[in-house]
Structure 1
Amino acid sequence: MPHQEHLPQAGRQFAHRSRLSGAKAWLAALTGALLLLLLAASPAFAQATAAPALHVEAVHGTGWNDTAPPAEGWAPVTLPDSWATRWPGFDGVVWYRLTWQEPEQVRETGLLLHYLNMAGEVSLNGTPISRDDSLVEPLTRAWNTPRYWLLAPPLLRPGTNTLLVRVSGLFAYQAGLGPVSLGTPAAMQAEFEQERLVRRDLQVLGLAVSAAASAFFAALWLLRRRETAYGWFALMSVLWLLFGYNQIATSPWPFASNHSWQALNISTLLVFGVSYVVFALRFCGRRMPRLEGAALLVAVVGVLDLWLAPHADLIAHRAIWTLAGGFTVIAVNGTSIVHALRHRNSPMRSLAPFMAVSALTDAHDLLVFTQVIDSNTYYTTMSSYILLLGMALTLAAQFVKSLKRIENFNTELIEEVNAAKADLAATLAQQHALELTHARIGERVNLVSDLHDGLGGMLVGSIATLERTPENLSAPELLAMLKRLRDDLRLIIDATGRDDGARALGELLAPLRHRSAQLLDANGIDCRWQVSGIDTLELPPSQSLDLMRFLQEALTNVLKHSASRRVDVTVARAGAELRLSVRDDGRGFAVEGTGEAGGAGLRSLRTRARRLGAELQLQSRPGETQVALRMPLAS
């Protein structure tokens, strides 16, 4: 059989960075190894207890199309038999004749043929009972297929019975006939089921799991590209699927010969070894470009040599590169185990126990391949279950670890959120206190501004009157002056103490107009007003008060600084705009030098203009000064 096809599956390691408890991992690996030993021991035990004595002879035919064995040349052999040592270099047909004695009272008997390599035809007492599809190249690959028959009369007969097996094979792949067992139907049926489980069913299951694993880890890699170990493990799974397919393939299709099939199979093993090297490095978070490049170079040389070597030298080349691929996988297993033992924090520690089991099965299968162990059973495909168990446990451990981290993160997040909420509450409380303080300061500033613009202006006017003609003021005039100051103070208190809603601007402007006119007239200044379009104009109380204070401050500046004889005041509504203008014929002032500075009066004017969202215009020269305000009205 083509032993070179069944080298170690050491690439089933899980490519996820997590660590398992060492005791649990070793226990799981030991359990899997024991299961493999039980599977290996069961067929041998059944064969030892059930096989009767058989007389076996063999003779090689003269051509691939022989339909009957030669009459001479038979030689006794022992099963299992490989004719490569007896007839070196022989490719073709070998006939095996098995004879045994049946008693007069023939009973039903079970016949089990463990395997034949590669294709064959079986007949009992001259009656064909089995034949493979192709007995010439491309040969049917029946080397790993057990066969069971229930023999009963008339197939069996008293006395000598002859089982004739025609085997078509190639000496390069250890062609020959495996063990043949006769016994009770129940015993042979049980042994057949055991053989089929090991040789076929578990192999199929292993390949199905490989396919699922490759798809799963490929998806993980696509979702997390930076986790390159996932991608390499997916590639390993695909390569192992192709390599392990040899276990169940019954034809060398799409090739016309088994030689091409063998070249493909070993090429896949070499590339698998390279991907296994890179996976192990990525799993440990390392990169070794020189080692990776050397492994790739060896694989490329091996693949080219396998496909270009002549058939006459194929056996030697196949053996060399099969051993190279197998030893590469064993070396990776061994190095990974050593690395895990030396580095306690290495993620490889979670896979080391399972890699140890894989290394043992790898070594066993290489010994079978080199015929140091006389066996036909390979365990690398079945050992993949142990490795998959390790991967599953590694994934579970990583999931639990991540879940714990998430839970801890949630706890820490809740604590941090609570702390942040407490800090935010303290900050908000502090900010609220600052806002209250700022509001109080703002109220005080507004109050001071209002006192300055209104009451201050009236005080200035009253003082100016008293300074000019104090001897001409009578008691009623002085009382009237004090009443005007009282009325202005009341206006400030009413405006800042309550909000009765919007009022017509003309209604609010009338008292200011009356008082300012009297004050200016008393100081020898002719004040003329022009008011239009504001009788029905209603503004919010804050805007109305700002407008009145703006006019008060402008008129106060005229009284205090202009030394004028006439002032013209205009308050008019023009479409969606309110225009205010105060023009005097006084001495004027330098507008360019004031900027944002100037006296308290000018600063107050600018502040109120900004508060109203209006445009302030200042023009001044000797003999004419104008303060104008243009305020857009809400639609």
Structure 2
Amino acid sequence: MPHQEHLPQAGRQLAHRGRLSGAKARFAALIGAWFFFLFLAAGAALAQPAPELHAEAVRGTGWDDTAPPAEGWAPVSLPDSWATRWPDFDGVVWYRLTWDQPAPVGEAGLLLHYLNMAGEVSLNGVPISRDDSLVEPLTRGWNTPRYWLLAPPLLKAGTNTLLVRVSGLFAYQAGLGPVSLGTPAAIQTEFERERVVRRDLQVLGLAVSAAVSAFFAALWVLRRREAAYGWFALMSVLWLLFGYNQIATSPWPFASNHSWQAMNTSLLLVFDVSYIIFALRFCQRRMPRLEAVALLVAAAGVLDLWIASGPALTVHRAIWTLVGGLTVIAVNGISIIHALRHRDSPMRSLAPFMAVSALTAGHDLLVFTQVIDSNIYYTTMSSYVLLLGMALTQAARFVQSLKRIENFNNELIEEVNAAKAELATTLAQQHSLELAHARIGERVNLVSDLHDGLGGMLIGSIATLERRPEDLSAPQLLAMLKSLRDDLRLIIDATGHSDGALAFGELLVPLRHRISQLLDANGIDCRWQVSGVDTLELSPSHSLELLRFLQEALTNVLKHSASRRVDVAVRRADGELQLSVRDDGRGFAVDAVNKADGAGLRSLRARARRLGAELQLDSRPGDTHVALRMPLATVA
């Protein structure tokens, strides 16, 4: 029965395995319970309350003390400012903190939130920290949290003593801040939080101020008419210098902290002036009287701060700091009210950020006056909130400009079409005026030609008829009429409809013949000298102008000179055409004629101007000379 014998053996194996599994389970439960109790013990250790610190303080005897006095210790609570306990005391105060460290001794974290102004720290007689300068100029360690990781043998079981030597000035809230002792992790976390508030946010605010001030300064340089940008850049620089007080660790370049604080408060007053002007310019307003008063007050404050010295500076600094802080709050408040009362005010975009600035300024004034028991100032940290507001305002303006650019094409097309319509109307009006002026000019020229040509011939003919009408025969009268006809033909030829170009000499011949006959008929001996013009070809208009010039000059001789002889010269020489008419008549006063030209002289001047020629007039009794010099290069 092998199968029947095997069944009991399998049962025994199963039972054995069950006993092994139960043993393992019991062993695992025992291990788990052991770890659980360890966890509870560790939790109890972690949850163990930090040792209680007992703080005492005693005033030192001098700036160079190396050890505290043996007597005079008094209990204090931290944070401590000794200005209330020892008024007007500048010097050294020793703080002694003791606690009982239970055994076993492990690592512990120690955090000193701040000490004001400089100091050194030792634990159980062993120095663990010392500032660079414990006498004036004191190290400015008032806003620097300090953290130490304590471990045996520095930290011992039983009573431990932390000795802190503080060198400070009562005017600046000298004393010792809170001290925290506990597990390294908890104290490290608290230290990181303190460092963020006291250092990192301050540095961030100053860095943002520097960047934004540079940006707005560049923006103002590119757009000088945006005065608000320039004032904002200036006030940002001033605030950067003022806020540097929060992170400065030395009063350099000054020899004392009093001088440093005088400089710092002076910067606040100058900042107030720039802040006032910025707010006005941002609202596109000017208030010269208010601006002048603010400048005078700031100047008086700066002068007063630098004149005051020693203990008096404390009071003066407090007064002017209050003036500066209240001015900032007033500017913010008035700007907010202006934004609420005027919907179109550009200050509306900055009002929320200025409200934050006003709140932080109010908080810091309460801290400064010790109404609030703290030494943390938030104004510098919140400065970049206002800068953020300016950046958002600029971004909004940029978006508006971008929208305008997007619609620029449509606006441009509309404006171009409107301009084209207006230009077309203007050009049509101008064309009409030009046509009218051209017609008037043509009529004036025609009248001038008729006056100088036909007018002269008619005057000569009338003069001949008046002198001896009975001696004129029919052929002579016919000759006069033909002369008038020829003169009219000369006007027609000048219109440009002549069959071919004629040399100036050929055009001069008929005029010379007619004029000579006319002058001879009136008892005037006319002598001509003509040279170099036989091959000179000119445009019909120039030829007519020259002939009319001669005709008018000789007509004036006939009408006004009462002369007996006239010499006419027409010559081409040295690249110019020269015309000369000289008579021996009564002459005239050239200066008087220049002031009140007659029609004939005006005609001569006009023709000379149109020809681009030079006209010369010389006259005295017995010798009158009219000359024209025309460069031929201008008519080629």
Cα distance in 2 for residues equivalent to 1:299 and 1:484 = 97
Between the two proteins, the alignment pairs up a number of residues equal to: 571
Q: 1:247 to 1:628 in 2, by over 3 A?
A: closer
Cα distance in 2 for residues equivalent to 1:527 and 1:294 = 95
Cα distance in 1 for residues equivalent to 2:50 and 2:207 = 37
2:392 is matched with 393
| 1:419-430 aligned within 5 A | 421-430=423-432
Cα distance in 1 for residues equivalent to 2:168 and 2:583 = 124
1:375 is matched with 374
2:192 is matched with 193
2:149 is matched with 150
State the 1:453 CA deviation.
6.0
Cα distance in 2 for residues equivalent to 1:71 and 1:563 = 139
1:60 is matched with 58
Identity of aligned residues (%): 62
- Higher RCO (Cα < 8 Å, 6 or more apart): 1
2:37 is matched with none
Contact residue 252 and residue 258 of structure 1 kept, 8 A:
yes
What is the CA deviation profile of residues 106-136 of structure 1, one whole-angstrom value per residue up to 9, with x for unaligned ones? Answer: 3x44433221222222233443221112233
State the 1:387 CA deviation.
1.6
1:329 is matched with 328
| 1:229-628 aligned within 5 A | 236-270=235-269, 272-273=271-272, 276=275, 280=279, 285-287=285-287, 289=289, 293=293, 296=296, 300=300, 304=304, 308=308, 311=311, 319-396=318-395, 417-418=419-420, 421-442=423-444, 444-445=446-447, 448-449=450-451, 452=454, 492-498=491-497, 503-512=502-511, 530-534=528-532, 536=534, 538=536, 540=538, 541-548=540-547, 570-573=568-571, 578-579=578-579, 614=615
2:99 is matched with 99
Letter in 2 for 1:634: P
Q: 1:145 to 1:508 in 2, by over 3 A?
A: same
State the 1:432 CA deviation.
2.7
**SS at 1:538 equivalent:** coil
1:631 is matched with 628
Letter in 2 for 1:52: A
Cα distance in 2 for residues equivalent to 1:68 and 1:519 = 138
State the 1:198 CA deviation.
1.9
Q: 1:525 to 1:341 in 2, by over 3 A?
A: closer
State the 1:51 CA deviation.
8.3
Deviates more, 1:351-360 or 1:440-449: 440-449
Cα distance in 2 for residues equivalent to 1:226 and 1:444 = 59
Contact residue 138 and residue 251 of structure 1 kept, 8 A:
yes
State the 1:382 CA deviation.
0.8
Contact residue 95 and residue 164 of structure 2 kept, 8 A:
yes
| 1:70-89 aligned within 5 A | 77-86=76-85
| 1:133-148 aligned within 5 A | 133-148=132-147
Letter in 1 for 2:195: R
Q: What TM-score results when the alignment is normalised by the length of structure 2?
A: 0.68
Contact residue 101 and residue 156 of structure 2 kept, 8 A:
no
Contact residue 532 and residue 571 of structure 2 kept, 8 A:
yes
State the 1:60 CA deviation.
1.5
CA RMSD of aligned residues (A): 5.5
**SS at 2:55 equivalent:** strand
Contact residue 577 and residue 630 of structure 2 kept, 8 A:
yes
State the 1:369 CA deviation.
2.8
What is the CA deviation profile of residues 447-501 of structure 1, one whole-angstrom value per residue up to 9, with x for unaligned ones? Answer: 6458726986999899999975768x6xxx9999998887766555444334688
Contact residue 59 and residue 69 of structure 1 kept, 8 A:
no
Deviates more, 1:443-452 or 1:610-619: 610-619
Cα distance in 1 for residues equivalent to 2:398 and 2:157 = 67
| 1:207-222 aligned within 5 A | 207-211=206-210
State the 1:554 CA deviation.
8.1
Cα distance in 1 for residues equivalent to 2:290 and 2:518 = 101
What is the CA deviation profile of residues 314-362 of structure 1, one whole-angstrom value per residue up to 9, with x for unaligned ones? Answer: 6666555544443343334334433443444555444332222122112
Cα distance in 2 for residues equivalent to 1:479 and 1:255 = 118
What is the CA deviation profile of residues 582-629 of structure 1, one whole-angstrom value per residue up to 9, with x for unaligned ones? Answer: 979xxx99989x9899999999888767766545789999xxxx9964
Q: 1:553 to 1:266 in 2, by over 3 A?
A: closer
Contact residue 453 and residue 552 of structure 1 kept, 8 A:
no
Q: What TM-score results when the alignment is normalised by the length of structure 1?
A: 0.68
Gaps of 5+ in 2: 1-46
Contact residue 454 and residue 487 of structure 2 kept, 8 A:
no
Cα distance in 1 for residues equivalent to 2:186 and 2:478 = 137
Contact residue 448 and residue 603 of structure 2 kept, 8 A:
no
